[in-house]
């Protein structure tokens, strides 16, 4: 029984949760066997022709970029893990900084290169945003280390149902959200509080055999006076992104600085389409999400670190470039980053 079940909410059901616009996201065991067999027969994924780009992290800047002198910045640590600095605080999305995306340490998808910043070198994290409980997004060792960071545990913001799992591993500073729930976090530099909103996306959840869709999944919209960010988590393409744009349309007028300053959108783990389409967007669909959200700029995440599906690790940026070109968009509108790279962004104008 879903302890959070609310019959007034269409995405709730007695045994868990469902998507807004489809029920076909997670596949059957027979379909999984078919995909695995076909991929093995074809020798997929092929080794990448070029490695995922890496740069040495600018740790001096990242550590100093705090408080009243902070400028909005994003540092790609790898996969779906992005360190976002805004509103005087440090956020991290779906932190995964260990070797494997797997329930065991000796098998499963292995990281192709080290994270852009190690767990030991991270600055103090104020807020952890967790989109869902799949192993490549919710890593027990990483969150356990963050929970014990110097200066006190960060606030972990999680979907409905995940708080109980966090408590089981000793993490108690947790805020649990349903779709469209929101709350504020006091700013570190005396400006207006940050708003964190949990938004619907099209995906699913599970950490074992018997808990499929037992906990919720989603994306995040984060608003500070100096910067606005959207993070998709994992998702297939759906009308949810038009719904999200409509929800926050009042904030997107030119007088208030326009739309999201930065959208972090998944662009990897999308082949074969017959298996992945409902649960993972391809780069063409990711560009459509960027346009649906009316974001100013976007960065592709969820690629380059783990071999999860049939495309090579270096294929997503190539397909993203083609999709961007087909829409007449510049690379600055929606591109990718090197692991370890930090990008600085202008502050929003005062309303």
Mean pLDDT along residues 67-95: 95
pLDDT tens digits for range 229-263? 999 999 999 999 999 999 999 988 887 778 999 99
Q: What are phi and psi of 241, to 5 degrees?
A: -80, -35
Name the pLDDT band for 188 (thresholds 50, 70, 90).
low
Confidence (pTM): 0.97
| Percent over 90 (pLDDT), the chain | 87
Rounded CA-CA distance 149/267 in Å is 31
- What does the pLDDT read at residue 351? 65
- What does the pLDDT read at residue 191? 62
pLDDT tens digits for range 11-40? 999 999 999 999 888 888 999 999 999 999
pLDDT tens digits for range 147-170? 999 999 999 999 999 999 999 999
Top CATH class of 52-104+113-344 equals: alpha beta
Q: Which residues contact 75 (CB under 8 A, 6 or more apart)?
A: 57, 58, 62, 82, 83, 85, 116, 117, 340, 341, 342, 343
pLDDT tens digits for range 103-117? 888 888 999 999 999
- What does the pLDDT read at residue 192? 66
Q: And the tokens for 215?
A: 């906990």
| Percent over 70 (pLDDT), the chain | 98
| Domain spans of the chain, in order of start | 52-104+113-344
DSSP output for 52-78: PPB----HHHHHH--GGG---EEEEEE
- What does the pLDDT read at residue 112? 96
Mean pLDDT along residues 136-146: 98
Answer whether residue 175 shows pLDDT above 70. Answer: yes
- What does the pLDDT read at residue 243? 98
- What does the pLDDT read at residue 260? 96
HEC assignment per residue over 210-252: CCCCCCCCCEEEEECCCCEEEECCCCECCCHHHHHHHHCHHHC
- What does the pLDDT read at residue 24? 81
Strands (E), the chain: 12-13, 16-17, 73-78, 81-86, 89-93, 127-129, 155-159, 174-177, 182-185, 194-199, 219-223, 228-231, 262-266, 298-301, 334-335, 342-344
- What does the pLDDT read at residue 186? 83
Give the least confident one: 75-84, 130-139, 255-264.
Answer: 255-264
pLDDT tens digits for range 52-64? 999 999 999 999 9
Answer whether residue 189 shows pLDDT above 70. Answer: no
């Amino acid at each position: 029984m879903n302890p959070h079940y609310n019959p007034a909410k269409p995405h709730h059901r007695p045994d868990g949760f469902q998507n807004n616009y489809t029920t076909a996201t997670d596949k059957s065991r027979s379909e999984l066997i078919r995909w695995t067999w076909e991929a093995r027969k074809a020798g997929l994924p092929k080794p990448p022709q070029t490695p995922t780009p890496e740069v040495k992290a600018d740790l001096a800047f990242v550590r100093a970029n705090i408080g009243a002198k902070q400028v909005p910045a994003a540092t790609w640590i790898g996969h779906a893990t992005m360190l976002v600095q805004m509103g005087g605080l440090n956020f991290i999305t779906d932190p995964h900084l260990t070797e494997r995306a797997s329930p065991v340490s000796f098998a499963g998808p292995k990281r192709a290169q080290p994270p852009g910043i190690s767990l030991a070198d991270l600055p103090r994290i104020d807020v952890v945003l967790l989109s869902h409980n799949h192993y490549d997004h919710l890593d027990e060792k990483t969150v356990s280390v963050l929970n014990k960071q110097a200066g006190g545990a960060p606030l972990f913001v999680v979907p409905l149902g995940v708080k109980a799992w966090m408590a089981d591993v000793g993490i108690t500073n947790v805020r649990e959200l349903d779709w469209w729930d929101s709350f504020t976090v006091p700013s570190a530099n005396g400006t207006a509080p940050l708003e964190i909103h949990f938004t619907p996306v099209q995906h699913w959840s599970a950490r074992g055999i018997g808990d499929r869709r037992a906990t919720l999944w989603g994306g995040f919209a984060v608003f500070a006076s100096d910067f606005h960010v959207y993070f998709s988590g994992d998702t297939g393409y759906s009308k949810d992104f038009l719904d999200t744009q409509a929800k926050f349309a009042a904030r997107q007028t030119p007088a208030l600085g326009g739309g999201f300053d930065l959208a972090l959108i998944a662009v990897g783990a999308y082949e074969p389409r017959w298996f992945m389409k409902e649960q993972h967007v391809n780069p063409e669909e990711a560009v459509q999400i960027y346009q649906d959200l009316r974001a100013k700029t976007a960065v592709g995440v969820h690629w380059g670190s783990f071999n999860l599906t049939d495309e090579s690790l270096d294929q997503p940026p190539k397909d993203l470039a083609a999709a961007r070109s087909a829409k007449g968009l510049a690379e600055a509108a929606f591109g990718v980053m090197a692991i370890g790279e930090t990008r600085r962004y202008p502050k929003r104008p005062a309303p």
